[in-house]
Chains A and B, each alone.
Chain A
Amino acid sequence: GIQVEQSPPDLILQEGANSTLRCNFSDSVNNLQWFHQNPWGQLINLFYIPSGTKQNGRLSATTVATERYSLLYISSSQTTDSGVYFCAVFTGGGNKLTFGTGTQLKVEL
């Protein structure tokens, strides 16, 4: 099956810093989502992005499907950005989401 790898696995930032998270996938995908999992386990939808670039406040994402990767940019990070960031890709004919391994982000004061 498809492999979805995220890097880096862990990241520690000082508040105010910028960061880039990467998601690589091993095969063609129909679509891609980015999520933030907060410390209570809730998965929050960040982006639904099959291709191109989207922005939402301090966050933006770019997917280059032909090269099989997506990037999530976090600017001016805040402590509330801490948690795990997942990318997930749609494969096959159904609604199957395959999740990546996640990036654990900690933002410190």
Chain B
Amino acid sequence: DGGITQSPKYLFRKEGQNVTLSCEQNLNHDAMYWYRQDPGQGLRLIYYSQIVNDFQKGDIAEGYSVSREKKESFPLTVTSAQKNPTAFYLCASSKGRGPYNEQFFGPGTRLTVL
């Protein structure tokens, strides 16, 4: 089955620790994205990548870092510099670049900072 997988489903972190969220897709999509969702709100863009070894900041990139070493993978690291990291994180992908490409989403990771 083609799709987007995210792991883990739930993640607990102590303050001051970095943590990495995994996102993998087997859809042969070029572009991948990370969004954050807070309770009762819509999604906000953290980072996106349109091609391997290249990525761009979104609206709320502070305290996050990403890498894109393989087309299939786009891991997100939540660093200790992120002041309010507790949230629901969703990864997405689209076939190509530009605005005329539908985005598809993974099941998400719920991060809680204790």
| Interface mask (A80-98 → B, CB under 8 Å = 1, otherwise 0) | 0000001010111111110
| Interface mask (A24-51 → B, CB under 8 Å = 1, otherwise 0) | 0000001101010000111101001010
Tell me if B104 counts as interface (CB < 8 A to partner A): yes
- How many chain B residues touch A (Cβ–Cβ < 8 Å)? 30
Say whether B97 contacts A102, CB under 8 Å.
no
Tell me if A75 counts as interface (CB < 8 A to partner B): no
Closest partner residue, chain B, to A91 (CB atom): B99
- How many chain A residues touch B (Cβ–Cβ < 8 Å)? 26
Interface residues of A (CB under 8 A from B): 4, 30-31, 33, 35, 40-43, 45, 48, 50, 86, 88, 90-97, 99-102
Closest partner residue, chain B, to A30 (CB atom): B99
Chain B residues, CB < 8 A from A31: 99-100
**What is the bound-complex CA distance between A48 and B100, given in angstroms?**
9
Q: Which stretch, B11-19, B38-46, B64-72, B73-81, touches the partner chain A?
A: B38-46
Closest partner residue, chain A, to B96 (CB atom): A95
Interface residues of B (CB under 8 A from A): 31, 33, 35, 37, 40-45, 48, 50, 56, 58, 88, 90, 92, 94, 97-105, 107-108, 110
Say whether A94 contacts B97, CB under 8 Å.
yes
A6 to chain B, nearest CB (A): 9
Dominant SS at the B interface? strand
Among the interface residues B31, B41, B105, which one has the most CB atoms of the partner chain A within 10 A? B105
A50 to chain B, nearest CB (A): 8
B102 to chain A, nearest CB (A): 4
Choose among A90, A92, A102 the residue that contacts B42 (Cβ–Cβ < 8 A).
A102
Known: A41-B88, A43-B90, A102-B42. A97 touches B108 (CB 8 A): no
Known: A30-B100, A43-B90, A90-B99. A97 touches B107 (CB 8 A): no
Chain B residues, CB < 8 A from A101: 41-42
A52 to chain B, nearest CB (A): 15
Say whether B103 contacts A95, CB under 8 Å.
yes
